[in-house]
Amino acid sequence: MSRTSDSHPLRIAEVKAGAGLVGVSFCPGKVQPDGASGPWARDLATDFAAIRDWGAAQVLTLIEDHEFVALRVQRLGEEVDAAGMRWFPLPITDQSTPDHRFLSRWPAVAREVVPGLRDGGRVFVHCKGGLGRAGTVAAWLARHLEPALAAGAAIARVRAARSRFAVETPAQAAWVGEVAPVWPAKDAGAKARGCESCYRATTYRVNTTPTIDLRIGVHSQALRDLHARRGVDSSVFITAWNPFGDDRPLEWNARALDHLRRHLRGSGLGFEEGAGVPDGSGRVPEQSLLVPGPDRAAAANLCAAFAQNAVVYCGPDAVPELLWNPLFAVADARG
């Protein structure tokens, strides 16, 4: 006999995230005659009434398009709206880690979700079974709200609340620790701008043949020529090293830059290898990428998605300029 929303009311595992709570469960309203744990025939409206009554302000849906059909929840977004909550679809492939689809959307979602959690709010996160994808994002959210929380501790917190099987794969567990939370601390923007002279005392080197050296505020004909060859009007010079200026081990930085490369490839963007080379000998050059194509808004989104204080944006005039993380203004205002 199929289990229903009446016979098996929705159970929401509560994961502490700062002052707020992340609720984790399987897909509301799913109809699964051949479910791994037995057949389901749930009701969307009933389940979302329970989520609303639990106190969620937002719903993060991590299933892919084909799963809406397979689980018979094509009206899921409509039911979220009807229940008075905000819906954010953030698709992740089953048994996998968040990719370019998730990270490219996350900065805009974070503007609403993270401040709400900091104010003691609640957000509901689900995938199909409520273990792998939902557990991974819940652990990552806990790290957003508690910067001192280690990835292993965040995962343990999720497993204690939901299931020892939550965060299912080694790759998902690694992702929680290797991808920096994108939310800056309060006053991070002011502190970063206080170091603006460091950005200006850096050569942004592109490893083309011949090499292109960029400086903030200095026109580069070589860059303009590269734009013309690629058929673009703009580019961004970005790294994934040392999120928010927090020095990380070289091994961590190398993995983070690999995540950035995969993100760009998944987004259909090419890139040239490079490095930010500080004047003098006090700091290690930061491996970086020049990405032809992104406009100012897309460059700002990349900056936020990879937790950088700033990126170097190069517009049609080929004069590099600093572009600060757009989340600084929100974090400084909300705390």
DSSP 243: G
Q: How sure is the predictor about 287, in pLDDT bands with cuts at 50, 70 and 90? A: very high
The predicted pLDDT at position 334 comes to 57
The predicted pLDDT at position 333 comes to 62
Length of the chain, in residues: 335
Domain ranges of the chain: 13-178, 188-334
| pTM score, whole prediction | 0.90
Closest CA to 238 of 276, 187, 210, 183: 276
Instruction: Write out pLDDT tens, residues 77-108.
Output: 999 999 999 999 999 999 999 999 999 999 99
Instruction: Please report where in the chains the tokens 């090419």 appear, as a residue.
Output: 270
Q: What is the CATH number of domain 13-178?
A: 3.90.190.10
Contact (CB, 8 A) for 26 and 128: yes
Instruction: Write out pLDDT tens, residues 137-157.
Output: 999 999 989 988 999 999 999
Q: Token digits for 256?
A: 């983070």
SS3 5: coil
The arrangement of strands across the sheet holding 272-278 comes to 212-214, 202-206, 272-278, 286-292, 235-238, 310-314, 320-324
Q: What is the mean pLDDT of residues 29-58?
A: 94
Q: How sure is the predictor about 188, in pLDDT bands with cuts at 50, 70 and 90? A: confident
Angle at alpha carbon of residue 314, lines to 313 and 316, rounded to 5°: 140
The predicted pLDDT at position 332 comes to 63
Angle at alpha carbon of residue 71, lines to 37 and 22, rounded to 5°: 75
Q: What is the mean pLDDT of residues 58-70?
A: 98
